[in-house]
Amino acid sequence: MTTIENVTIEDFKLRFKTLPYLPIYVENKAYFTDDVVYYELNFYKSLTDGNMTLPTDTTNWELTNDTTDNYITDEDIEEAFNEAKINFNPNLFPSDDVAKIPFLYLAGHYLMIDLNIALNPLGTGVIGFTTSKSVGSVSEGYSLPQWMLSNQWLSPFAQTPYGRKYLTLIQPYLIGNIIYTNGSTVF
């Protein structure tokens, strides 16, 4: 039986390296001038290169104004995992390794939805699909495959790039799957 219980927050961070994660201070790591870390509910900026002191050392660090709202926390990722588990069927996949990547993209989709809601909590609309953009004489247009949009169960995942990637990863597993179970009838 395939499972996604062993997927970790580190797996997520490795897959999506460019997201703005909370820069938690790591002991014995060298920091450089202007590196910002989060330590004991505050943000600190390094004043020196090769800085390995605690952020409370005012010779090498200064308090800086920032908020955790500007970053993705481990709790945000964990919540996205919990939401993804609701709609993820690991039994579609032949192994844990194959199931891991689509699961991470589904979690990324839910994280993006949650961040969008956090940025616009009173928003009454849904995330729409851009079919064309233009600025002056430059224009760009694209469309989503019909198989994504015509299925009422799959189309919500097409709202984010992560959801669309998830759909392309699971598409081969949605076609012609049959699961046999043993059973008997008693007369």
Residue 76 φ/ψ, nearest 5 degrees: -60, -45
Q: Contact 109/157 with Cβ under 8 angstroms?
A: yes
- C-alpha span between 82 and 89 (Å, rounded): 13
User: What pLDDT sits at residue 72?
Assistant: 97
* Closest by CA position to 82, among listed 42, 111, 58: 111
Helix 96-119 vs helix 74-87: crossing angle, to nearest 10: 120
Instruction: Show the low-confidence residues of the chain (pLDDT under 50).
Output: 125-126, 128
Pairing of strands 132-135, 61-64: unpaired
User: What pLDDT sits at residue 177?
Assistant: 56
User: What pLDDT sits at residue 137?
Assistant: 74
- C-alpha span between 67 and 187 (Å, rounded): 68
